[in-house]
Structure 1
């Protein structure tokens, strides 16, 4: 899974078809959910570059490349945001977060809901059809060199779904500190979205990060936000399944 870093799905597809790009991929997924296929899945494309994973060197030969139309990291200019090529991005299309492999808290372009939904559908179909072992980001196979698809894409949720977690439930955690702030973003500089969580409060993982996780509080609540990973611990699978059964259906409220 990649982000294009380009201006549009079509312009990215055109560039990937240009020999001067010295890069290619199998699919480009647009922000409206439409798909452009650039190569058959049994043809090697050049989307991974210098890469390694689980003892495999050079992932071009062993993977399917999906490029998602997304600008990636953004620049903040005053109170506004823009792409690296100067295109403005509305605030409601911006995610403020740190990358899971380190770096500053910074703005990233959000993926659209239909784009994420289509990415999940694509991954499910490809894993089932070709027996793929895992779903990885470019960031996972080229650490320190690449940052895509970045913290705005729910890659861990996708991987969890593809690996068939019990009851299709996300991992559950418990607060270990006497009190823990749940914040509007992935960093201590963001305001709390609710009163501090008490020790033992149970949480559902929504998005995993290197230092901060986005979670939802379990119970009759719609509290959702970011917590520091140092002050939570995973529950065992049995406890997680029990919580998933007891948790009432509730409409989620976006933190911040």
Structure 2
């Protein structure tokens, strides 16, 4: 099937955005992504069995990102390739209330697809992002159960290794400090949509939760601790090394 939910791009392709479908089956997801009334779509759909389906041609602007930003780009749909990965996520939990696992065969297919897209469009590792990275105040996918470290090990995206185990709190909600301004600038340099206010406000907490969800999924609380500072430092060093 092909989706009719697309229009023309206004920007060159510079990023890949990964999503989970948040639905019970691939059939349900495919039907919605191809439904004109839903006004949503993606370029690619990857099933639990590792089947990769093209729903929108890559030269067209699919409607997968919605309101959000990355590297100052607010029209993320125009600048990105959207990949929907069949997984119930936070919407369809398992019988014991857990997030459903991503099968290995599915992740291998995602890795292969991402490598092909990166090669076609010369996309930088820092621009392989999740929906929660570009819209941290409203999205959680592909979720804290998504194996970002495995993708990075295969050459897709960045992963900060050998993190400190120090989780002492540095800043909490509502704190104001010059150090928070420095952290906000660092988050913006990484690509996150955050304003420099010097306050650990709601927007900044949402971004910190997105960072935690991806790089420190065991504790997602929006608090800035020593381990999160280490994550941000290592991500900055990785981005600089690639840019050099």
Task: Give the TM-score normalised by the residue count of structure 1.
Answer: 0.55
RCO comparison, higher one (Cα < 8 Å, 6+): 2
Using the alignment, how far apart are the partners of 1:16 and 1:111 within structure 2? 20
Whether contact under 8 Å (1:5, 1:69) holds in the other structure is yes
The structure with more radius of gyration: 1
Aligned Cα root-mean-square deviation (Å): 3.1
Of 146, 167, 173, the residue aligned with 2:163 is 173
Deviates more, 1:61-70 or 1:132-141: 132-141
Match in the other structure for 2:215: 208
Of 112, 128, 131, the residue aligned with 1:138 is 131
Aligned residues: 164
Note closer, same or farther for the CA distance 1:142–1:156 as it changes in structure 2 (3 Å cut): farther
Shift, 1:89, TM fit: 2.8
What SS class does the counterpart of residue 117 from structure 2 fall into?
Answer: helix
Using the alignment, how far apart are the partners of 1:17 and 1:163 within structure 2? 28
Note closer, same or farther for the CA distance 1:174–1:114 as it changes in structure 2 (3 Å cut): same
Using the alignment, how far apart are the partners of 1:163 and 1:112 within structure 2? 18
Match in the other structure for 2:201: none
What SS class does the counterpart of residue 109 from structure 1 fall into?
Answer: coil
Give the 5 Å matches for 1:87-236: 89=94, 107-133=98-124, 134-159=127-152, 161-162=154-155, 171-175=161-165, 208-209=215-216, 212=219, 230=226
Whichever structure has more strand as a proportion of its residues is 1
Of 12, 20, 30, the residue aligned with 1:3 is 20
Whichever structure has more helix as a proportion of its residues is 2
Using the alignment, how far apart are the partners of 2:157 and 2:135 within structure 1? 26
| Pair 1:30 & 2:15 matched | no
Structure 1: gaps spanning 5 or more residues: 75-82, 95-106, 178-206, 214-228, 238-256
Using the alignment, how far apart are the partners of 1:142 and 1:112 within structure 2? 25
Task: Give the TM-score normalised by the residue count of structure 2.
Answer: 0.58
| Pair 1:17 & 2:34 matched | yes
Using the alignment, how far apart are the partners of 2:123 and 2:161 within structure 1? 22
Give the 5 Å matches for 1:25-104: 25-73=42-90, 83=92, 89=94
Structure 2: gaps spanning 5 or more residues: 1-17, 168-213, 235-244
Shift, 1:231, TM fit: 6.4
Using the alignment, how far apart are the partners of 2:31 and 2:156 within structure 1? 34
Could you list the per-position Cα deviations for residues 143-186 of structure 1 after superposition, in whole angstroms to 9, with x for gaps in the alignment? Answer: 11111100111235425653687xxx961235459xxxxxxxxx
Note closer, same or farther for the CA distance 1:65–1:71 as it changes in structure 2 (3 Å cut): same
